[in-house]
Amino acid sequence: MYEFLQILWFLLIAVLLLGYFILGGFDLGAGILYPFIAKNQKDKTFVRRAIGPFWDGNEVWLLTGGGALFAAFAPAYATSFSGFYLAIMLVLFGLIMRAVSVEMVSHDKKWRKFWEVSFFVGSLVPALLFGAAIGNVIQGVALDAAGEYRGGFFSLLNPFALLCGVMGLVAIMTQGAAWLALKAPIGSDIHTRAVKMRSRLNIGEFAAFALAGAYFLLFVMPQFGEDRVAMPLAFVFAGLCVVGWFVARFFFSKKNDLMSFLAVNLVPICLIGLTAASLYPNLIPAAANPQGVITYFLIPGAAMPELSLTIFNSSNSELTLTIMLIITSIGLPLVLTYHVILYRIFRGRIKDDQLNEVY
């Protein structure tokens, strides 16, 4: 029973992260596209209105994911949050500035330009660092015998992590463009721009995925392929990512904005599945710290499975996992119900008379 709970919580955390990637992804993407897609004040108001009713509720998934990691795998939570401290603080500051700017941009006209820049930067930084963090975890980080991170901040900015960061960033921007195309009136200038960006970003998403995949196979896979139990399943999800890309291109050609938005979310779903399969049973794989300037930045260190934090050696007690599962069984359906009601209330395209200064 204990082992079953450990595996179940691993899957639950993956689901919570997936919820944030999908629901939080499109509003982060809209924020990143804000200075590029909005050419006048009306367009800017539209972008804010398109995500205004949703963005704060979407953040629940990120908070719940962090809380679930602490509740189920406290040692992994401690290592990740202390080891990636500076990166996490940058993410938090970005999200805080973004939240404040969304509220202030329409009320503080004197500082409107500042709040608009904050909205863009506060969306860009988390989107980039989330992918970079996942890239670091996939290839392994330097841990000591106590499970403490012993690398530095700049060692996190390695090629594979940056490639994953760019891939995640472009995927989120694609979601944002697809969402804006879904919400904009057909025939409007902003709808035309969103459709064009959606298509171009989708191509960039595929290119970033191909580059990250090539680097993984050439440099990461030889070191880390043996201790990943579900690694074969990772290749299935990688193939489904490519399928999802072609499905999205198909609906782009059909000019179906709803199905296009749903289709672009197939890639995030497959990316989270790919990440989970690449890691299992690890939560934070350990790697030796490479020596030398070139190898330090280009090639990950050798895997050290004996130091890795897994779902089996870093989980909380069976009683804790059981109690938290009961709480989650009650809370998660309530959150899903809230989202269903919210998205149903604000469904449909945004009309001109809905563009008020509240957003």
CA pair distance 58, 293, nearest whole angstrom: 41
Q: What was the pLDDT predicted at 13?
A: 93
81-112 residue pLDDT tens = 877 888 888 888 988 888 888 888 877 778 88
Q: What is the DSSP letter of 307?
A: G
Percent of the chain with pLDDT over 90: 37
CA pair distance 228, 239, nearest whole angstrom: 18
CA pair distance 73, 24, nearest whole angstrom: 24
- Closest of 189, 87, 187, 143 to residue 310, by C-alpha: 143
274-295 residue pLDDT tens = 999 888 888 988 876 654 444 4
Contacts of residue 43, defined as CB under 8 A and 6 or more positions apart, other chains included, come to 37, 189, 190
Q: What was the pLDDT predicted at 158?
A: 83
Mean pLDDT (whole number) for 10-36: 91
Q: Which runs of E-coded beta strand occur in the chain?
A: 282-284, 309-310
- Name all domains of the chain by residue range, CATH numbers in brackets: 2-345 (1.20.1630.10)
Q: What was the pLDDT predicted at 37?
A: 92
CA pair distance 322, 312, nearest whole angstrom: 15
208-257 residue pLDDT tens = 999 998 988 888 776 665 556 667 788 889 899 999 999 999 999 999 99
Percent of the chain with pLDDT over 70: 90
Which comes out higher in pLDDT, residue 168 or 63? 168
pLDDT reading at 296 higher than 60: no
Q: What was the pLDDT predicted at 164?
A: 93
Q: What is the DSSP letter of 283?
A: E
Pairing between β-strand 282-284 and β-strand 309-310 as defined by DSSP bridges? antiparallel
Q: What was the pLDDT predicted at 174?
A: 95
Strand partners, 143: 149
258-271 residue pLDDT tens = 999 999 999 999 99
CA pair distance 242, 204, nearest whole angstrom: 13
**Mean pLDDT of the residues in the chain:** 85
Q: What was the pLDDT predicted at 33?
A: 94
Mean pLDDT (whole number) for 298-303: 62
For residue 311, the one-letter residue type is I
The model's confidence at residue 167, banded by pLDDT at 50, 70 and 90, is very high
Phi/psi for 286 (5° steps) reads -95, 145
